[in-house]
Amino acid sequence: MSRIVYVNGAYLPEEEATVSIFDRGFLMADGVYEVTSVLGGKLIDFEGHVARLARSLAELDMAQPISHQELLAAHRELVARNEIDEGLVYLQVTRGNPGDRDFAFPDPETTPGTVVMFTQSKPGLANSPAAAAGIKVISIPDLRWHRRDIKTVQLLYPSMGKMAALAAGAGDAWLVEDGMVTEGTSNNAYIVKGHKIITRELSADILHGITRAAVLRYAAEAQMVVEERSFSIEEAQGADEAFVTSATTFVMPVVEIDGASVGAGTPGPVAGRLREIYLEESLKAAI
Ligand code: PLP
């Protein structure tokens, strides 16, 4: 069965889905995206992702080309049509196709945004072997632009970081700016010291992770102490535990940073407990 994808209101087999070569997403990386995970056929944290999409669009002066209700209906339709049990829905909105290339933004009245959505099936997402083993990370300089709070499709540098990590035998790279970790290539970064969970405070330096917000809320509800501040690679290497969070990896333990074991070099109890709580609570709230 060929995958059914969504393009500007139409549901099409992936082979028949097209966007223009003049689309500003293609020519200028002028677009934003969201990734919502699917567990048991249901959407995890959908409301958070839609709220962040609205914010990303507003920050870039882009019109919202599709309503909340239409977004939810399309997500559900794609999950159903593609029989997704565990996996994700990818959503991208670009500034559309003005019919030519120009640095100036087109008039949104005459150039509507392009909306595409597709699913990816990922059986075993929740019971991931990587989560049981933990991942290794390397550090690299953070050379991205300075509006990382906007979830744009400008993902070349994070892709280069991921390639550098894979070449070094690691699972991901942590980005470092002014001596401090900002975040992972596609996740938020945390360390645990004693009873404290430490993660960088929100600003334009990092993406405001939807999973981050949920995990910090669940941590506080479980009487865990959360400190929102920057930390260095050296502090992380000396921490008791480290982990990352994202919509598709949930809470993922980090067991090695730049070749140095973190804690015992195995996934720690705090990350393990947070992963359990996150999966349990977000499954309960899934729609
Ligand atoms: N930071 C970056 C740079 C990301 O790309 C992502 C997710 O793609 C995250 C953090 C985690 O965000 P979320 O929990 O909303 O998936």
**pLDDT tens track for 152-208:** 999 999 999 999 999 999 999 999 999 999 999 999 999 999 989 999 999 999 999
Q: Distance from the CA of 110 to the center of ligand 1, in angstroms?
A: 32
Specify the DSSP element, H or E, that contains 89.
strand 87-94
**pLDDT tens track for 53-112:** 999 999 999 999 999 999 999 999 999 999 999 999 999 999 999 999 999 999 999 999
Q: Which of 136, 151, 193, 196 is catalytic?
A: 151
Indicate yes or no: pTM above 0.75: yes
Does position 1 have pLDDT exceeding 90, yes or no? no
What values do phi and psi take at 79, rounded to 5? Answer: -60, -45
Ligand 1: nearest atom to the Cα of 210: 15
Q: Distance from the CA of 67 to the center of ligand 1, in angstroms?
A: 23
- To the query of whether residue 42 is one of the catalytic residues in this protein, the response is no
Mutate to test the pocket of ligand 1, among 188, 199, 212 (most ligand atoms within 8 A of CB): 188
Here the tokens at position 144 are: 């991205």
The alpha carbon of residue 228 and the mean position of all alpha carbons in its chain are separated, in whole angstroms, by: 19
Query: Is residue 188 within 8 Å of 199, Cβ to Cβ?
Result: yes
